[in-house]
A and B are shown apart, each in its own frame.
Chain A
Amino acid sequence: MRTIQEAFARAKSQGRAAFIPYVTGGHPDMATCARLIAALDKSGADIIEIGVPFSDPVADGPVIQTAGKIALDGGATPAGIIELAAGLRDQVSAPLVLMTYYNPMLAMGLDSFAARSAQAGVAGVIVPDLPPEEAGPWLQAAREHGLDTIFLVTPGTSRERLQTVLRACSGFLYYVSMYGVTGGALRMDAKSLAAVQRVRQAAAGLPVAVGFGVAAPEQAAALAGVADGVIVGSALVKRMLEAESAEQGLAAASDLALSLSGSLAA
């Protein structure tokens, strides 16, 4: 399994942006989810985000909400998702990153969450409701266990705040492409592409990946020109949700992943 740094370096050396798919952990069930992650790894994923389902996902749109609810109803727990990652560490070469809300981490205990994640081979954690101002206790635990913490910035983040976020951030910086929740409508005009470039300059070497609302290969291709990585979540999860069987979902998600990863060459 590669590190996050190695994953970006490898993509760069191949003259393309990194492809970072997101899956809702435990959706539609643990076994299928494990197969999906393995399939994405074979379909060009450079890094894979695994969502830890939460009862009240305020940063997520309807698609990921629905998938999370199905996973929770199926008995998914944060500990179960960490186990899922542990079971995959020898099968996949893409580093695994957890995306979770803060309360499940608090409930497990920050140190325990960090220790168990690191032990499972998880490379980093994304916490959409944990801004750097509140992240002190978590960052301490994460650093002790060698986990990266990936923070988010948005089109509304000021230059000063960007610096605050960058001081706390490691692994890569997550640029939220628009005002909205996951799966919303993406704005892809020259102005927004220029904004990504400005953030990338300020990040001074820390890779910048763009996500929220990226659904089609053409969008991914345009973003690949300005970013180090492109994150796709809802569009893939939607394939799984709409499929009539697990097999069909895996095939549809793999197809989309292949066309997305193939579109990222500069």
Chain B
Amino acid sequence: MAKSRILSIAPEAPLTLPSEQGRFGAFGGRFVPETLMPALEELEAAFRQARSDQAFQEELNGLLVDYAGRATPLYEAKRLSRELGGARVFLKREDLTHTGAHKINNALGQVLLAKRMGKRRIIAETGAGQHGVATATAAALMGLECEVYMGTLDIQRQAPNVTRMRMLGAQVVPVESGSRSLKDAVNEGIRDWVTNVETTHYIMGSVIGPHPYPIMVREFQAVIGREAREQILAKEGRLPRVAMACVGAGSNAMGLFHAFRDDPVELIGVEAAGHGLETGKHAASLSAGRPGVLHGAYMHLLQDAHGQIIEAHSIAAGLDYPGVGPEHSFLKELGRVSYAAVTDRQAVEAFRLLCRTEGIIPALESSHAIAYLRELAPKLSPEDMILVCLSGRGDKDVAHVESYLEDNA
């Protein structure tokens, strides 16, 4: 793909959604402490300005191409397709970006924005560590100070990424509160931002949080779908029947879906069913939650009758979040995207399947999308194509999967 064709964010697209108030239908908004309101207004203004600034676009495009390694390939997984039977499967290889996951697309965009706003310090939350690594990488590249909040449970199960962040010069701040995972890391990130808002930019890693984060992160990730759409048209001369991605908070899914919104393409998000939806130990907020307000936005949440947030569970640290991006809530309500859920066990089986059939070690997060393929692909015909976002690579997960297999042999 020619360099000039890869637009990082689309300056011509109007901000029709979300609304001025940051609403996707009823969802989204800006439910934050007053201290953050001026910062969010400043961020929104900077983002709007950057969207229409040629110099910003070029700088980001340059980094995405020369530094992050875009465009990522669209790869037809023939042995996997043969094993599954039915439809042909194409993988959008976000695992091949620099740092090994789609998170770098957003981290580079937001770090450039932070520089424009004159912020010297970057903070982020991370679950699987992929967003933390991407942010630490981008901050190192720009010479900015970086602190990453991470739950102690996640520090334990994603140890390789903790080391990577430290090597990159970031400080990893362990979070002991609550479920000691992604939700609590976001809480600490918000508390830090409230305290240091004058000097600090908070790089949220997904399409959650108060406006403008959900649209901003979607725009920085939309490169995934734009490339994939062009690539499949170039290869096959037609669109896929289905485009699908795993959904934790939902940034790789929004990045993929956005380009296909107006196409006759079925969109499927795959949530983490953990031990099973019926056990209550899962992270499927769209499949099993109800709307409420957390971390600045109105969205589907796992919560009890009193509005207390329930701890999510997933074997994939990056999906282990009790909420979901407000635009996903909106797309679900519209019926434009359907959402399924697969269990830890199914995800681990899919992890092994992709290793064995294609020689690709997928992230446990992405393995959830692969797992749902096993249900979907056999039902379709060999004429049909399924596009799957392989959002990240699984090097970080190999030890965790090995011990899971030992414990569940």
Contact = CB atoms under 8 A, between A and B. Distances in A.
Contacts of B357: none
Contacts of A59: 33, 191, 194
Interface stretch (B128-136, B267-275, B289-297): B289-297
Q: Which 8 A-B pairs have the closest CB atoms?
A: A107-B307, A104-B307, A180-B195, A55-B308, A103-B307, A58-B190, A55-B309, A152-B34
Interface in B271-319: 292-296, 301, 303, 305-309
Contact of B37 (A77, A161, A181): A161
Contact of B187 (A56, A106, A165): A56
Contact of A78 (B191, B194, B307): B307
Contacts of B306: 77-79, 104, 107-108
A180 B194 contact: yes
A1 interface: no
Interface stretch (A127-135, A188-196, A226-234): A127-135
Interface stretch (B24-32, B60-68, B224-232): B24-32
Contacts, number: 107
A54 interface: yes
B38 interface: yes
A32 interface: no
B33 A107 contact: no
A156 interface: yes
Tell me what chain B mostly uses at the interface: helix, strand, loop, or mixed. Answer: mixed
Contacts of B196: 179
A249 B196 CA distance: 33
Contacts of B39: 156
Contacts of A180: 35, 194-195
B308 to A, nearest CB: 4
Interface string A101-139: 111111110000000000000000000111101100000
A134 B31 contact: yes
A179 B31 contact: no
A156 B177 contact: no
Nearest to A178: B195
A179 B292 CA distance: 27
A184 B34 contact: no
Interface string A151-171: 111101110010001000000
Interface residues of A, number: 41
Contacts of A56: 178, 183-184, 187, 294-295, 309
B295 A58 contact: yes
Contacts of B37: 131, 157, 161
A176 B307 contact: no
Contact of A65 (B177, B194, B303): B177
Given A128-B34, A157-B34, 12 more contacts: A58-B191, A61-B191, A103-B301, A103-B303, A131-B30, A133-B30, A134-B31, A156-B35, A157-B37, A176-B35, A179-B195, A181-B194
Contact of B308 (A54, A129, A181): A54
A131 B305 contact: no
B38 A107 contact: no
A152 B197 CA distance: 17
19 contacts: A55-B308, A56-B178, A59-B191, A59-B194, A61-B191, A103-B293, A104-B306, A128-B34, A129-B293, A134-B21, A134-B30, A151-B34, A154-B35, A156-B35, A157-B37, A179-B196, A180-B194, A181-B195, A184-B195
B198 interface: yes
Contacts of A72: 308
With a 10 A CB-CB cut-off, give which of A107, A133, A176 has the most chain B CB atoms.
Answer: A107
Interface string A22-58: 0000000000000000000000000000000011111
A106 B308 CA distance: 11
Contact of A131 (B31, B292, B303, B309): B31
Interface string A182-204: 00100000000000000000000
B32 A179 contact: no
Contacts of B305: 107
A152 B28 CA distance: 21
Interface in A63-88: 65, 69, 72, 77-79
A202 B177 CA distance: 39
